[in-house]
Chain A
Amino acid sequence: MGSPVTLHSRPAEIALAAWSIVKGLAVTLRNALRPSVTRDYPARRTALHPRFRGKLGHKRAEDGRPRCTACMACEKVCPTLAIREIEGDEAKGRERRVRTYVWDASRCLFCNLCVEACPFDAIELGQEYSIVGDSREQTCFDLEDLLEPAGKGESR
């Protein structure tokens, strides 16, 4: 049981082995002269692509109210039960607005199913990715944390 390539049988082979190592050295040298590809995170952060799937966000309608009508489509479709405790106000149908909404980042798979299920285009997976906490409670976000800042939605 021996390898077809040995490093000690004939002088010619030793020379070939040495030459193959020299070729490898040339490759590493060339790469050493290339600029480095790593980024100085967190000092310098690169922009994310617009489709990046990060923290869940609630959009606002033109009148400043949340677009979500608490229809429960996202809660039903969520495979990991990361969306829960959705409650709306007293109004009915399209006029109803969400009052409570909990999104648990530690359960979320960021699979985008909720966004696709939403009939009112009310939620999105946004650009924020640093969603950390010391406890399970801290990774749960309620409507107040999820709703985009007022003013931004009105321009939409």
Chain B
Amino acid sequence: MIHETTPTTQVALNMGPQHPSTHGVLRLELMLEGEVIVGCNPIIGYLHRGIEKIGEARSYPGFLPYTDRLDYLSSASNNLAYVQAVEKLIELEVPERARYLRVMLLELNRIASHLVFVATFANDLGATTAFLYGFREREPIMDMFEMWTGARLTQSWIRIGGVAGDIPEGFAEAARSFCAMLLPRLQEYDRLLTGNHIFRARTEGVGLLSRDVGINYGCSGPTLRGSGEPYDIRRAEPHEVYDRLNFDVVTDDSADCMGRYRVRIEEMRQSVRIVEQCLSQLPAGEVLARLPRVVRPPEGEAWGRVESPRGDFGCFVVSDGGPQPLRVRIRAPSFYHMGALPEMLRGWKIGDVVAILGSLDIVLGEIDR
């Protein structure tokens, strides 16, 4: 080994906050020996907006639009975690139809988010074309969101007590045709990326995260499932109507970037299954429970948990009986994945930093909050 015989100096390199592959405004302080990484110190907070604190100064319904801005790639899961906590506090029964609609919105968000993952991950590895393909396939979902909720990205459509509005006419057809379109496109990704030997050489065996290390760091979602742990909030603690739906919890034992990538690709197929089941099982009825004009939950605390595209997204709400929460606390899965990053990076090269970081699919909006 060259660097055992030749004395080398370590070089500190700042990756970000202005860097195309840090997925937002993240700064990584890398210690390098040549191209090899010997240390990494993630520095976060560039996107801090004090959302938890804002929650203490807003009414219960009024905080909802802020949660959209946490994990902005899948705003519905943020909404749902918060709304679940509030609903537990006021012990509200949500109409059946609304529960199905929530699941559908969530799963469409998951597909959209995973498509962005595939796109950005490929772009990090230099496959610019796959980047555009991912966004192209995401576009029909965005269009469907606009049709249903009126907004493409930050939908704010899940409300305390249900959803703000029913699906419009033509939505079910649009969703079905999208599902039918997506599956062959995913096969195309498999031919373009998954089977490509360069892509495999860049991802297989890279950025290992063993199951135990992952659990110790509090990883969840596809990141942990890519290390072979079948932990999914949708099964472990079923919310909404997930216990009535058929889908597989996807795992991959390889524990590398490729494993995490494969889990997400397969999860999109599972989400398609869930959306189709929701469409066929959708019961008739109300979509929003009646609420008083000012929501004043009784004193207490509640924890809402949702399987977001990134993992175990949680929201903890404490009420003192007033019209505003006493405390809102958000558990962002990306934050915990970020914690495991230095360990995963050690010994790899600069080119692998973007691959490993990309495979964690972090969103700085929820890390910095």
**Do A and B have CB atoms closer than 8 angstroms in the complex?**
yes
Using a CB–CB cutoff of 8 Å, the interface residues on chain A facing chain B are 1-7, 13, 16-17, 20-21, 23-24, 26-28, 30-31, 37, 48-53, 77-80, 109-113, 116, 125
Contact A3 B201 (CB under 8 A): yes
Q: Report the bound CA distance from A109 to B51 in whole Å.
A: 14
Residue of A nearest to B145 (CB): A49
Chain A interface SS verdict (over half): loop
- Within the complex, the shortest CB–CB distance from B182 to chain A, in Å, comes to 14
Check A112/B62 contact, CB under 8 A, given A3-B204, A21-B197, A53-B150.
Answer: no
Contact B197 A16 (CB under 8 A): yes
Contact B195 A51 (CB under 8 A): no
Q: Report the bound CA distance from A49 to B204 in whole Å.
A: 43
- Within the complex, the shortest CB–CB distance from A26 to chain B, in Å, comes to 7
Contact A111 B64 (CB under 8 A): yes
Residues of B within 8 Å of A125, CB to CB, are: 150
Q: Report the bound CA distance from A138 to B202 in whole Å.
A: 50
Contact A111 B65 (CB under 8 A): yes
Q: Report the bound CA distance from A77 to B156 in whole Å.
A: 14
Residue of A2, A13, A17, A79 touching B63 (CB-CB under 8 A)? A79
List 13 other contacts, CB 8 Å, given A79-B65, A110-B150, A112-B150: A2-B205, A4-B200, A4-B204, A5-B197, A20-B195, A24-B193, A24-B195, A48-B146, A51-B148, A52-B146, A79-B59, A79-B66, A113-B61
Q: Report the bound CA distance from A113 to B295 in whole Å.
A: 14
Asked if B164 is at the interface (CB within 8 A of a chain A CB), the reply is: yes
Q: Which residues, 182 to 222 on B, are CB-close (under 8 Å) to A?
A: 188, 191-193, 195-198, 200-202, 204-206
Q: Report the bound CA distance from A4 to B68 in whole Å.
A: 40
Check A49/B150 contact, CB under 8 A, given A112-B156, A116-B164.
Answer: yes
Contact A79 B58 (CB under 8 A): yes
9 contacts between A and B (CB under 8 A): A2-B205, A21-B198, A23-B196, A27-B192, A51-B165, A77-B61, A79-B59, A111-B65, A112-B164
Interface centre among B58, B150, B196, B200 (most CB of A within 10 A): B150
